Amino acid sequence: MSFSEDESYLSKDVADVDPDIARILGAELERQSETLEMIASENFTSQAVLQAVGSVLTNKYAEGLPGKRYYGGCEVVDQAEQLAIDRAKQVFGAVHASVQPHSGATANEAAYMALLKPGDRVLAMALDHGGHLTHGLKVNFSGRTYEFHHYGVSRETGRIDMDEVRERAKEVQPALIVAGASAYPRIIDFPAFRQIADEVGARFMVDMAHIAGLVAAEVHPSPVPFADVVTTTTHKTLGGPRAGLVVTRDEEVGAAVDRAIFPGLQGGPLMHTIAAKAVCLGHAMTDEFRERQARTVTNTQALAQGLSEGGIAMVSGGSDNHLVLVDLSDTDLTGKDGEERLDRAGITVNKNGVPFDERPPTVTSGLRIGTPALTTRGLGADEMREIAAIIVSALQSTVSDDEMAELRARSGAIGDRFPLYPRLETGSAVGAA
Ligand code: DSN
């Protein structure tokens, strides 16, 4: 290979090198632009975050921590990680931050490793009541390594019943209690969890992945003053790169989490993603971010109100946060049907089990619908009311193909009013423009 070929290997665009992948990148940008994205765990990250993720920091090995690495040449990436650590501590009011977890699942694994021995008992929210697979699903590492027991929500209210949690904690005598959920529309009472943990001599961990952005903006109470360890992803309400983060209020526990991540679970950290976490945490210090998180909540409330007025039932009757859980149990429509119908109407959501669901997890009786991504795109309460009306119509048993096409056109028209990534062309979805 000649020198000039070498040079072009490093310099060519993906469109020149790999047209198949370039087409896919463009098509995904188009899909994200042309549909209304309402998966509660998704968001649109900023172009600044995309630039950090697509940067030369991906080339660097940096096992260890800033100033204590196992590789040379880390003096630049050290600065990125230190900024991410300092900003995470400031944003969440924490004493220690570990910014290396590749994902929320790894963050949880590290927290367990720091606090537990294999076989220890843990009490967490049941997956089929809104919990997460890393909170003790039998086939997950969590359920295989530790003895998980679960609490759920009350059948009457759809909310976590703290008396039931206390009863379960007294029965189980866990070493650790976990709060946090993937499909829970209400505020979680962290002080009450702490009190129960203290009563039974357990540690307390919160997985705030879904609500981290709301917590950072103080539109949801913070778990940090109450929990021994708080884990999160950085890409949900927080709106950063796809990755994880752990914060603690105690230096010693934080150091144990660091050791659990490396060398316990991971090798080289993803320095490009860590730089992107720093960018996203920088965003989280701005008034613009706080306004967006507050609007995420008011948007969900406008959506919930519109759905309720259209006769759609929701678990717990509404929402305090970024998502609603539509309950189709009393209808002939399944969650799977509902997801497909909304997809045809140009709205992307996911089918989701509801508490006490009698349909199997591949079918379900629920739809989880979230507002973070569309709120980031700029939509407000008026658009949410319009979207609620589209959802209500799409879920009617009598909806015809023509009506569905009209609903899709209405969704598309809403999206057109809020352009996504205007500086990116569909053919250059990775462009730093
Ligand atoms: N899979 C994520 C969600 O959709 O909520 C949680 O990790």
3-state secondary structure 202-251: CEEEEECHHHHHHHHCCCCCCCCCCCCEEEEECCCCCCCCCCEEEEECCH
Residue 238 neighbours by CB distance under 10 Å: 31
User: Cα–Cα distance between 144 and 170 in angstroms, integer?
Assistant: 23
User: Cα–Cα distance between 354 and 385 in angstroms, integer?
Assistant: 23
Q: Residue whose CA is closest, atom 3 of ligand 1? A: 41
41 in ligand 1 pocket by Cβ < 6 Å? Answer: yes
Strand, coil or helix: 69:
strand
Residue 319 C-alpha to ligand 1 middle, in angstroms?
18
Residue 341 C-alpha to ligand 1 middle, in angstroms?
21
Cα 115 to Cα 77, 112, 142, 175, 176: the distances in Å are 29, 5, 13, 9, 8
Strand, coil or helix: 124:
strand
Active site (annotated) includes residue 351: no
User: Cα–Cα distance between 420 and 140 in angstroms, integer?
Assistant: 36
Q: Residue whose CA is closest, atom 6 of ligand 1? A: 182
Residue 398 C-alpha to ligand 1 middle, in angstroms?
32
Q: Which of 332, 331, 301 is nearest to 317 (CA)?
A: 301
Q: Which of 37, 38, 39, 41 gets mutated to test ligand 1 (max ligand atoms within 8 A of its CB)?
A: 41
Q: Which of 411, 337, 305 is nearest to 38 (CA)?
A: 411
pTM exceeding 0.75: yes
User: Cα–Cα distance between 176 and 227 in angstroms, integer?
Assistant: 11
Structure tokens, 264: 């316990």
106 in ligand 1 pocket by Cβ < 6 Å? Answer: no
Q: Which atom of ligand 1 is nearest to the CA of 233?
A: 7
State which amino acid sits at residue 392.
V
319 in ligand 1 pocket by Cβ < 6 Å? Answer: no
Q: Residue whose CA is closest, atom 2 of ligand 1? A: 41
* 177: β partners: 123, 204
Q: Which of 128, 208, 235, 236 gets mutated to test ligand 1 (max ligand atoms within 8 A of its CB)?
A: 236
Residue 335 C-alpha to ligand 1 middle, in angstroms?
17
User: Cα–Cα distance between 111 and 179 in angstroms, integer?
Assistant: 13
Q: Given phi > 0 = left and psi -120 to 50 = alpha, else beta, which region is 314?
A: beta
> Which residue shows structure tokens 């009698």?
358
Q: Quick one: CA dihedral 62, 140, 166, 181, positive or negative?
A: positive
Active site (annotated) includes residue 207: yes
- Do 314 and 308 contact (CB within 8 A), yes or no? yes
Q: Quick one: CA dihedral 78, 91, 42, 407, positive or negative?
A: negative
Residue 383 C-alpha to ligand 1 middle, in angstroms?
25
Q: Which atom of ligand 1 is nearest to the CA of 183?
A: 5
> Which residue shows structure tokens 């006490």?
356
Q: Given phi > 0 = left and psi -120 to 50 = alpha, else beta, which region is 239?
A: left
| Spacing of C-alpha 270 from chain mean position | 19
Q: Residue whose CA is closest, atom 1 of ligand 1? A: 41
Structure tokens, 92: 């969440």
- Do 155 and 355 contact (CB within 8 A), yes or no? yes
Strand, coil or helix: 97:
strand
182 in ligand 1 pocket by Cβ < 6 Å? Answer: yes
- Do 65 and 269 contact (CB within 8 A), yes or no? no
Which value, to the nearest 10 degrees, does the dihedral of the CA atoms of residues 313, 316, 319, 323 take?
-70
Q: Residue whose CA is closest, atom 5 of ligand 1? A: 182
Q: Residue whose CA is closest, atom 4 of ligand 1? A: 41
Give the active site residue among 34, 63, 161, 386. 63
Active site (annotated) includes residue 242: yes
Residue 71 C-alpha to ligand 1 middle, in angstroms?
34
Residue 328 C-alpha to ligand 1 middle, in angstroms?
21
| pLDDT on residue 3 | 45
For residue 223, is the peptide bond before it cis, meaning its omega torsion is within 30 degrees of 0? no
SS3 annotation, 398-418: CCCHHHHHHHHHHHHHHHHCC
Tens place of pLDDT for every residue, the chain, 433 residues?
A: 444 455 688 999 999 999 999 999 999 999 999 999 999 999 999 999 999 999 999 999 999 999 999 999 999 999 999 999 999 999 999 999 999 999 999 999 999 999 999 999 999 999 999 999 999 999 999 999 999 999 999 999 999 999 999 999 999 999 999 999 999 999 999 999 999 999 999 999 999 999 999 999 999 999 999 999 999 999 999 999 999 999 999 999 999 999 999 999 999 999 999 999 999 999 999 999 999 999 999 999 999 999 999 999 999 999 999 999 999 999 999 999 999 999 999 999 999 999 999 999 999 999 999 999 999 999 999 999 999 999 999 999 899 999 999 999 999 999 999 999 988 876 555 544 4
Give the active site residue among 159, 194, 203, 236. 236
Residue 105 C-alpha to ligand 1 middle, in angstroms?
10
Q: Given phi > 0 = left and psi -120 to 50 = alpha, else beta, which region is 11?
A: alpha
104 in ligand 1 pocket by Cβ < 6 Å? Answer: yes
| pLDDT on residue 324 | 98
* Main-chain phi, psi angles of 169, to 5 degrees: -65, -40
By the 10 Å C-beta count (0-12 exposed, 13-18 middle, 19+ buried), 392 is classed as middle
Give the active site residue among 30, 61, 344, 403. 61
| pLDDT on residue 33 | 95
370 in ligand 1 pocket by Cβ < 6 Å? Answer: no
